Structure 1
Amino acid sequence: MTAVSNASPPALLAAIDMGSNSFHMVVARLVGSEIRTLERMGEKVQLGAGLDTNNNLTEEAQQRALDCLSRFAQRLGGMPPEAVQVVGTNALRVARNSHRFLARAEELLGYPVEIIAGREEARLIYLGVSHTLSDDVGRRLVIDIGGGSTEFIIGERFEALELDSLHMGCVSFRNLYFSEGKITRRQMDRAVTHGAQELLNIRQRFRSLGWQSAVGSSGSIKAISMVLATLKLTNGSITLVAMRELRRRLVDMGSTEKLGELGVRADRQSIFPAGFAILMAAFESLGIEDMTYADGALREGLLYDIAGRIQHEDVRDRTIQGLQERYQVDQDHARAVEETAVAAFEQVADSWNLRTLADEEVLRWACRLHEIGLSISHSQYHKHGAYLLRYSDLPGFSQQFQRELATLVRGHRRKFSPAIFEAIDNPEDIRRLRYLCILIRLAVLLQHPRNQEAPPDFRLEAQGDRLTVHFPKNWLDHRPLTRADLDNERDYLARQNIEFSVVT
């Protein structure tokens, strides 16, 4: 959890990308708005290959991952929490026991680990790629082939215009089509056809928007580029003509064991034909004629995302503003609720151990969005709002943060039951969210008249599951609706063994 800090911005930033095939870490220095890479580390962990038939990560795969993270952890030692981002991608999105692994990873690293959705992964990849290329005018298509998913993005300069994540990757395709290390024409045809079928979901949308240049940003695409250069089919670029010739040669070779002759590293040989099949499908389905390789990727995108937050250019604020506008939220009322909730937060944050930037952020954003469900129906609108936040693509937000945001919106009114927190696995997170929920509930009640009245000069006292609110003398005498709301709230909270009392 990111602690509140008024200190100067951190000099060093670090990002860890726990991919389905490889784990990568990059450490960089922030100089003004520029990021200068100091160190890169990467290991083939093949986390995606460690999923059993029930989509649980095996203990062996978890241990491989933890061994890698232990080496990364030594390099991170002493860095402030706000300067580090650690994310997991497709393998952890799929794994049914990911929460158990995350707890072990967080304990080892000493930093929170977040699982990001496929479209958020695509946004960050584009952010990383766009900062490593010249600032050309015109749209570019970016493709990143991971171990379990492949991301496709069309963007212009630093802004993604269209993005998607498809459930196909070099590890999953290796397991499906090349598990025995053989490369036959039939296997290659089936793999390319499978990729083309997945691409039907985005083919028309992407081709209609169009692009002026195509860029690849993953290890698989880099390896293909290098092989084409080794064979003198291209000078390092990737063309459709060269891809077709390489396809023929791979089938003629017939075995992944022979890929070393083309300069493919031993740890990449088993997944090379799978990555090739996915890229071949993309070239043919999307009508790509040529592509260049760029070194930037998800981890670089994470660094620029951290820098943006530090420099108060947080994409999450734009996401929240966009949701308010899309669902026609009463922003004046939301602002009044937010101000009241933050006034309460400041008084009890220490007593309830909520003194973190992330706690204040999720409280503020939940206040701004607590009424988005009204766009669907007034009845049960808190549940509608929670559903929208839980399952929408929210640029900048991890899956865990979305769940927390949805939980606060779900619990801001009516019954206060354990069902509100059913999407939260960690008992400590449930404790935090229960207290934050109480604060937003109190703020909504005090702003029930919807006249954007400044919050009263109330005083809160908190001790564990006991909360007392002190109002100015006679303040409630002229507000019978607020008094009735507070009486109802006392009953709601009492059912969860929370003692709520009002003093005037």
Structure 2
Amino acid sequence: MKNFLKDPSKEHLVAAVDLGSNSFRMVIARVIQSPSGTQLQPIDTLRESVRLAAGLNEDKKLDQKSIARGLAAIHRFGDRLKNFDPKQVRAVATNTLRVARNADQFIEEAQKLLGFPIEVIAGREEARLIYIGASHDAPACDGKRFVLDIGGGSTEFIIGEGYEPKMMESLYIGCVSHSQEYFPGGLVDAHSFKQAQLAARREIQVISSQFIKSGWKQSIGSSGTARAIAELIALNGFNGEPHDLPVDDMGGLITRDGLIQLKKALIDAEYVDRCTLLGLKNDRKPVLPGGLAIMLAAFDELGIERMEVTEAALRLGVLYDLIGRSQHHDMRYVTVEQFMQRYAVDRAQAARVSDVALYFLNQFPKPKNEDRKDNLQILSWAAKLHEIGLTITHNGYHKHSAYIATHADMPGFSKLDQARLAALLLGHTGKLGKISVSSTYIDWRMLFSLRLAHVICRRRDDVGIPPISVKEEDNGFIIRVPKEWAKANPLTQFGLEKESADWAKIGRELLIQIF
């Protein structure tokens, strides 16, 4: 398939969809190539206040009203994205869909309406993408930059240099969840505000020392909450003379004094609905007190006095990451390389298993609705990381490999990527019964190819690609092995026979044909 960025028959457009806990947003941008690098020029944006986090009940399930609001917004996004190529679009979901127990059902329906896959990303991956977006839009900085993003259900803290994040944390405090817990019904008084600030400070204290020790020269507040606070401070003169300059110009500034005055204005109004602050939008009112309490807590705990504001954040980061992947700067390759180094992977063996596994997978015809390139990447990464659990113990090492892939921070990988990777690592050896036959994370051809490669490469020597062909049948697989090769490799033949027995235990046939 052609790289869309180099296809002159298409306008160079990319789109990012951000399914946040408070708002759903979409941005479409034009990719502009120049001798100095790549830039993005936004040409269309959509934002809908969905307040998904407000629909989480005590059992951590989304209620039907919030689901309906979310799906209606996504349906409209999908209409705008008609005729876009899958390589032009990336959709990500954040904290609420990380924690909701019925997130899978919501995402399944949402993907149909959007027309593109939706990735649920981990907190630190969200932080990485936020920094990438903010660093491309913020004023230049000679030194370290601190970025704070207060979302609906989580808040991200990042320190980086240039366009590269160095330190990332994500805390489960957000403007929607905090407002619901400490300001029910929109009631804002001195006591509730104090409790909300203290609660946020307790969360931030866990990470504050390492951030303060690192230090930074520039503080940036990104996205909706920071922008809304900056606009209120500017329009109401809490930083001096009132003005209506855009926040990405002189108005984009948050100061400690401005935050304190904004807090006083809310407390004086008693109910946020009664607040008469200039520029306070109706859709921001329900979540402003919680977001402001978190911002004040961050200023207090991290010793911040002033913060510049940028609207660019997760969405812009997703776009730059997307075009980076199309230009072969995929962060996932970097992450796999770092994991191989961290867990002292036998690189020669990893390369052997990867080459053989890909050789087998490529023998299967490409089914409908499958991204073969993505599957080949996931399979290759699984082959390269299948032995990372050996650093813990040899016995059951595949379980440790899978655990690491499931729970580790893996920049560039979505939650689905990590789940698929972990399933392959868990199933690459041993009994297949531990893999759920109905698992949505398992591609049985990929698992078959990896297991077969693991058996064939057991001697850990460079014997090259074996003269073996594979084929998929209705309920299993067929392996065709030359008689002379089988005779020369009795251990491998024994391993293949054992594989056949293992597949039979889960009701799948593996037929070995010697010719």
* Shorter-normalised TM range: over 0.9
2:510 pairs with 1:495: no
Structure 1 residue 473 displacement after superposition: 4.2
Structure 1 stretch 192-201 or stretch 78-87: which is displaced more?
A: 78-87
2:457 pairs with 1:456: no
**1:9-158 equivalences in 2 (<5 Å):** 9=5, 11-32=12-33, 33-158=38-163
Distance in 2 between the 1:83 and 1:6 partners? 12
Paired residue secondary structure (1:348): coil
Question: Cα–Cα, structure 1 residues 260 and 219, in superposed 2: closer, same or farther, change >3 Å?
Answer: farther
Question: Cα–Cα, structure 1 residues 195 and 336, in superposed 2: closer, same or farther, change >3 Å?
Answer: same
Distance in 2 between the 1:103 and 1:355 partners? 18
Distance in 2 between the 1:44 and 1:178 partners? 19
Instruction: Extract unaligned runs of 5+ from structure 2.
Output: 240-249
Aligned position for 2:479: 469
Distance in 1 between the 2:53 and 2:146 partners? 26
Q: Which amino acid aligns with 1:315?
A: M
Q: Which amino acid aligns with 1:409?
A: L
Residue pair 1:136, 1:157 contacting (<8 A) in 2 also: yes
Distance in 1 between the 2:4 and 2:120 partners? 28
Distance in 1 between the 2:129 and 2:196 partners? 27
TM-score (norm 1): 0.95
Question: Cα–Cα, structure 1 residues 209 and 6, in superposed 2: closer, same or farther, change >3 Å?
Answer: same
Residue pair 1:140, 1:155 contacting (<8 A) in 2 also: yes
Residue pair 1:260, 1:266 contacting (<8 A) in 2 also: no
Structure 1 residue 119 displacement after superposition: 0.8
Q: Which amino acid aligns with 1:165?
A: S
Structure 1 residue 355 displacement after superposition: 5.3
Structure 1 residue 353 displacement after superposition: 7.7
Distance in 1 between the 2:267 and 2:473 partners? 70
**1:419-434 equivalences in 2 (<5 Å):** 419-421=434-436, 426=440, 429-430=441-442, 433-434=443-444
Distance in 1 between the 2:235 and 2:342 partners? 51
Q: Which amino acid aligns with 1:43?
A: E
Q: Which amino acid aligns with 2:480?
A: H
**1:31-430 equivalences in 2 (<5 Å):** 31-32=32-33, 33-234=38-239, 236=251, 237-350=253-366, 356-417=372-433, 419-421=434-436, 426=440, 429-430=441-442
Q: Which amino acid aligns with 2:429?
A: R
Structure 1 residue 479 displacement after superposition: 1.0
Question: Cα–Cα, structure 1 residues 381 and 34, in superposed 2: closer, same or farther, change >3 Å?
Answer: same
Q: Deviations over 1:376-407 (max 9, x none)?
A: 00000000100000000100111111011000
Q: Which amino acid aligns with 1:289?
A: E
Distance in 1 between the 2:276 and 2:373 partners? 50
Q: Which amino acid aligns with 1:400?
A: L
> Which of 427, 450, 468 pairs up with 1:440?
450
Paired residue secondary structure (1:448): coil
Residue pair 2:232, 2:277 contacting (<8 A) in 1 also: no
Structure 1 stretch 344-353 or stretch 113-122: which is displaced more?
A: 344-353
Residue pair 1:106, 1:112 contacting (<8 A) in 2 also: yes
Distance in 1 between the 2:162 and 2:276 partners? 37
Distance in 2 between the 1:233 and 1:352 partners? 58
Distance in 2 between the 1:466 and 1:353 partners? 21
Structure 1 residue 329 displacement after superposition: 0.4
- The alignment's C-alpha RMSD in Å is 1.6
Structure 1 stretch 470-479 or stretch 353-362: which is displaced more?
A: 353-362
Residue pair 2:3, 2:326 contacting (<8 A) in 1 also: no
Residue pair 1:352, 1:462 contacting (<8 A) in 2 also: no
Percent identity, aligned pairs only, is 38
Aligned position for 2:247: none
Residue pair 1:446, 1:455 contacting (<8 A) in 2 also: no
Q: Deviations over 1:315-353 (max 9, x none)?
A: 000000000000000011101111101111110143698
Instruction: Extract unaligned runs of 5+ from structure 1.
Output: none
Distance in 1 between the 2:404 and 2:193 partners? 40
> Which of 483, 495, 498 pairs up with 2:493?
483
Distance in 1 between the 2:207 and 2:462 partners? 45
Paired residue secondary structure (1:267): coil
Question: Cα–Cα, structure 1 residues 247 and 350, in superposed 2: closer, same or farther, change >3 Å?
Answer: closer
Structure 1 residue 469 displacement after superposition: 2.0
Q: Which amino acid aligns with 1:304?
A: Y
Structure 1 residue 53 displacement after superposition: 1.6
Q: Which amino acid aligns with 1:477?
A: K
Distance in 2 between the 1:141 and 1:346 partners? 45
Structure 1 stretch 9-18 or stretch 90-99: which is displaced more?
A: 9-18
Paired residue secondary structure (1:208): helix
Q: Deviations over 1:35-88 (max 9, x none)?
A: 211111101000000111211111111110011011101111111112211111
Residue pair 2:255, 2:307 contacting (<8 A) in 1 also: yes
Question: Cα–Cα, structure 1 residues 350 and 455, in superposed 2: closer, same or farther, change >3 Å?
Answer: same
Total equivalences in the alignment = 494
Q: Which amino acid aligns with 1:420?
A: I
Distance in 2 between the 1:354 and 1:493 partners? 24
TM-score (norm 2): 0.93
Structure 1 stretch 333-342 or stretch 228-237: which is displaced more?
A: 228-237
Q: Deviations over 1:278-307 (max 9, x none)?
A: 000000000001101012111111101110
Distance in 1 between the 2:469 and 2:404 partners? 34
Residue pair 1:351, 1:463 contacting (<8 A) in 2 also: no
